[in-house]
């Protein structure tokens, strides 16, 4: 998991941020937490990983060193509205899924005509 901590530091430096700058973006009072995380001394929860990705203008997938790590990780980077749509589709029966797909295909076609 060292790649995660290295990627956090690398991305912070790419953006020209100090540890204190990143700490402030994440709501910390000082840089000590960032320093511990970048050294790999502190584990990150999924919610913290998402917060770091947002603060660093990147995705959790890029921070963990994977462009695509499967549907679960992809799901984690969706907005609340997007998660709602995915959840609704997942709970739907086959007939409802067909209706939803038809709706989104029609919407996509309409958008493409603009």
Element spanning 94, H or E: helix 94-113
Domain range list for the chain: 2-68, 78-113
pTM above 0.75, yes or no: no
Cα(58)–Cα(56) distance, integer angstroms: 6
Least confident of 13-17, 35-39, 44-48, 105-109: 44-48
Q: What tens digit of pLDDT does each residue of 63-83 get?
A: 888 765 555 555 556 677 877
Q: Give the per-residue pLDDT at 65.
A: 82
The domain made up of 2-68 has a fold known as 434 Repressor (Amino-terminal Domain) (1.10.260)
């Amino acid at each position: 998991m060292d790649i995660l901590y290295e990627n956090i530091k690398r991305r912070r430096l790419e953006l020209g941020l100090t540890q204190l700058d990143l700490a402030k973006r994440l709501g910390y009072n000082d840089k000590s937490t960032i320093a511990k995380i970048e050294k790999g001394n502190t584990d990150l929860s999924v919610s913290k990983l998402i917060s770091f990705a947002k603060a660093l203008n990147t995705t959790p997938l890029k921070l963990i060193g994977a462009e695509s790590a499967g549907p679960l990780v992809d799901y984690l980077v969706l907005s609340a509205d997007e998660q709602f749509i995915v959840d609704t589709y997942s709970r739907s029966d086959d007939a409802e899924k067909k209706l939803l797909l038809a709706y989104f295909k029609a919407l996509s076609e309409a958008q493409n005509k603009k």
